[in-house]
């Protein structure tokens, strides 16, 4: 049985040829054309083999509906966001299924501010998908143009917020693994500008993922081995659309993608105080770091736009998600692995320490992430009600699934768990964290058993 079409605040995802069809492309593209009032739309894609053909179909549909379209080609997701702002467009479309397997693809929809659509905006597009496409007469068809300046614009924005000369003076030896995705070429160009000695692996943007698409420790054995082999200062790993970043230290050990946002938060807050916003699934280390710096800390529902809207509301200095997503308002309101790379290199240069040394001074937690497929007809609300009744006195949040911070329960005290349905896959996510591996595993096993019973 094929996977269903996934429609959420994260976009519209499906398997190409099954649920992601030409009819769907026309339906979504024409709805988005109406949403942006037939204005100018920037279109970019990741390196998946289906991306170019889908891009042509989307661009032609937008133009036939009357939109002027600017095709920026194969670029990271954050690059499309930046170019929507730069070109003062009315919206943008990214063709990328991010971390999903190669057979998937997706629409990620961007508003005129260069941010992903929020829940009310995406619902508006969904409602417009029920209408018949409105193609224009020959003399009202939109223009299609090409812009190949996006790498330069994105890189210049990143370089404008770090001490370039200091980083260049260190001549860092860096291994980069872009999983043959959209970050392959632009990341190498950024590292060249920072005078790094670059050892690339999986940096041919052909969309054939030689490892698991997510930058998780279990997928980064080749990167770890290469860092040790060449005695690199650090290794960087991206996902296919280059909005997520994971780190490998100089010993070849994964830092864990949760600690990307923790490290960058500590770095930026040490230079200038400001508020911090992350989602409910992000490591408690970031909360501790914010407390250490004496700044306001907020959590939101999972999803980039949820974090971004809270950041805008609170004037946050830094934000992100624990999956390796860094959001720096100085650059733009979107997760950006290039921003993360530049900040991490600046941090190492300023502190004159390896990343393992810096990491050792941060709060240490152990996270367990997993996912389960629920039995048909399962009522998650009933499961949540049962769970809540078992933990009176503990801190509970229901803004996005169910999160419990264990402040009273003696077995799990000091840890937390987050249970929620995925926005991007037809599964249920379970995330636990505690100060010891044993406690984190115990929390995970307890709730996994309840969910799958």
- DSSP helix/strand/coil, 182: coil
Please give the Cα distance from 60 to 67 (Å, whole number). Answer: 9
Please give the Cα distance from 409 to 397 (Å, whole number). Answer: 16
Angle at 293 between CA 290 and CA 296, to 5 degrees: 45
Instruction: Please check the confidence at residue 377 and state whether its pLDDT lies above 80.
Output: no
Cβ contact 207:180 at 8 Å: yes
pLDDT score recorded for residue 372? 85
CA atoms within 13 A on the CB side of 107: 34
Q: Using the 8-state DSSP alphabet, how is residue 298 labeled?
A: E
Q: Mind listing the pLDDT tens digit for each residue in 223-258?
A: 999 999 999 999 999 999 999 999 999 999 999 999
What mean pLDDT is predicted for residues 343-372?
97
Mind listing the domains of the chain with CATH numbers?
6-148 (3.40.120.10), 153-359 (3.40.120.10), 366-452 (3.30.310.50)
Report residue 200 as tokens. 């690339």
Confidence of residue 131 (pLDDT cuts 50, 70, 90): very high
User: Would residue 422 show up in a list of annotated catalytic residues for this protein?
Assistant: no
pLDDT score recorded for residue 324? 93
Q: Which of 78, 98, 85, 110 is nearest to 334 (CA)?
A: 78
Q: Mind listing the pLDDT tens digit for each residue in 320-340?
A: 998 899 999 999 999 999 999
Report residue 450 as tokens. 């309840």
Q: CB count, 10 Å around CB of 13?
A: 26
Which one from 47, 55, 96, 98 is the annotated catalytic residue? 98
Max Cα–Cα distance, the chain, nearest Å: 72
Cβ neighbours of residue 363 under 8 Å, at least 6 residues apart? 262, 284, 285, 288, 289
Report residue 40 as tokens. 């100018």
CA atoms within 13 A on the CB side of 35: 27
Instruction: Please check the confidence at residue 189 and state whether its pLDDT lies above 80.
Output: yes
Instruction: Please check the confidence at residue 85 and state whether its pLDDT lies above 90.
Output: yes
Q: Where are the alpha helices (DSSP H) in 363-436?
A: 380-389
> DSSP 3-state helix, strand, coil percentages of the chain (rounded to 5)?
40, 25, 40
Strands 144-146 and 68-74: parallel
Strands 416-421 and 428-434: antiparallel
- DSSP helix/strand/coil, 105: strand
CA atoms within 13 A on the CB side of 258: 20
Burial class (CB in 10 A: 0-12, 13-18, 19+), 128: middle
pLDDT score recorded for residue 95? 98
Instruction: Please check the confidence at residue 269 and state whether its pLDDT lies above 70.
Output: yes
């Amino acid at each position: 049985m094929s996977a269903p079409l996934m429609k959420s605040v994260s976009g519209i995802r499906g398997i190409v040829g099954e649920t992601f069809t030409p009819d769907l492309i026309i339906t979504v593209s024409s709805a988005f054309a109406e949403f942006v009032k037939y204005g100018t739309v920037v279109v970019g894609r990741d390196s998946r083999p289906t991306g170019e053909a889908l891009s042509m179909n989307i661009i032609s549909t937008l133009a036939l509906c009357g939109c002027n379209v600017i095709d920026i080609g194969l670029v990271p997701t954050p690059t499309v966001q930046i170019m929507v702002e730069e070109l003062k467009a009315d919206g943008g479309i990214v063709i990328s299924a991010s971390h999903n397997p190669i057979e998937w693809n997706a629409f990620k929809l961007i508003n005129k501010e260069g941010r992903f659509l929020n829940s009310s905006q995406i619902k508006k597009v969904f409602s417009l998908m029920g209408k018949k496409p409105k193609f224009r007469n020959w003399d009202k068809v939109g223009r299609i143009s090409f812009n190949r300046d996006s790498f330069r614009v994105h890189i210049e924005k990143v370089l404008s917020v770090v001490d370039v000369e200091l980083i260049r003076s260190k001549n860092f030896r860096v291994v980069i693994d872009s999983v043959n995705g959209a970050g392959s070429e632009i990341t190498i160009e950024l590292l060249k500008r920072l005078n790094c000695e670059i050892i690339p692996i999986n940096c041919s943007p052909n969309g054939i993922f030689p490892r698991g698409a997510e930058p998780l420790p279990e997928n980064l054995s080749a990167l770890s081995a290469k860092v040790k082999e060449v005695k690199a200062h650090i290794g960087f790993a991206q996902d296919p659309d280059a909005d997520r970043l994971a780190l490998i230290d100089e010993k070849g050990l994964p830092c864990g993608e949760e600690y990307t946002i923790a490290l960058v938060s500590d770095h930026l807050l040490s230079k200038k105080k400001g508020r911090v916003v992350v989602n409910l699934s992000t490591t408690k280390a970031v909360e501790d770091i914010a407390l250490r710096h004496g700044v306001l800390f907020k959590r939101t529902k999972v999803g980039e736009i949820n974090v971004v809207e809270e950041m805008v509301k609170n004037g946050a200095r830094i934000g992100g998600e624990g999956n390796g997503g860094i959001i720096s308002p100085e650059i733009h309101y979107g997760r950006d692995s290039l921003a993360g790379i530049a900040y991490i290199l600046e941090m190492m240069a300023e502190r004159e320490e390896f990343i393992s040394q810096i990491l050792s001074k941060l709060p240490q937690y152990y996270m367990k992430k997993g996912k389960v497929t629920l039995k048909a007809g399962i009522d998650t609300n009933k499961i949540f009600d049962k769970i809540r009744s078992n933990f009176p006195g503990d801190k509970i949040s229901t803004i996005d699934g169910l999160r419990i911070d264990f402040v009273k329960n003696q077995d799990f005290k000091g840890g937390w768990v987050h249970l929620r349905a995925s926005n991007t896959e037809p599964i249920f996510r379970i995330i636990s964290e505690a100060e010891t591996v044993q406690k984190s595993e115990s929390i995970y096993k307890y709730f996994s058993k309840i969910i799958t019973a």
